[in-house]
Amino acid sequence: MDVYLESSIYALSSRFEGSYRNHGMWSAVAFNCPCGVKELKDGEDGYLVNVNDTTSFAQSLIKLIENPESRKQMGAAARKNILRLSPEVIFPKWKKMFEALVEN
């Protein structure tokens, strides 16, 4: 995890790992590194780019590199946004869903 503490940007260019299943991305968010996947809000707590759009990907990285204050704000927003997917929030929802399934 030390690498996240030393990083200020997390960029995920994979077409297949940009979902909630990517634990590395969530770890990056927890350490205030702005990043972007479908669960995040484009331009608010990361940047989303279309598949194979390397120009937009590069432009998004340049924005983050050249704007440290914006980068910090995005990182803070991402960290706040990720709380909605924490075990404390998700597990009660799962429990309720499973209990409803068992009752039916």
Q: Residues 29, 86: contact at Cβ < 8 Å? A: no
pLDDT at 14: 64
**Tell me, what CATH number does 84's domain have?**
3.40.50.2000
Q: Which two tokens stand for residue 23?
A: 């634990």
Q: How many residues does the chain have?
A: 104
d(CA 81, CA 83): 5
- pTM, rounded to two decimals: 0.59
Distance between CA atoms of residues 90 and 35, nearest Å: 21
Q: Which pLDDT tens digits describe the chain residue by residue (104 residues)?
A: 567 667 788 777 766 554 444 444 544 554 444 454 556 678 888 887 887 888 988 999 999 999 999 988 988 888 888 787 788 888 999 899 999 999 87
Structure tokens at 1: 């995890």
Per the structure, the count of domains in the chain is 1
For residue 19, give its domain range.
2-103
Task: Give the span between the Cα atoms of 2 and 61, in whole angstroms.
Answer: 22
CB 42 within 8 Å of CB 36 = yes
Tokens of 69: 């204050």
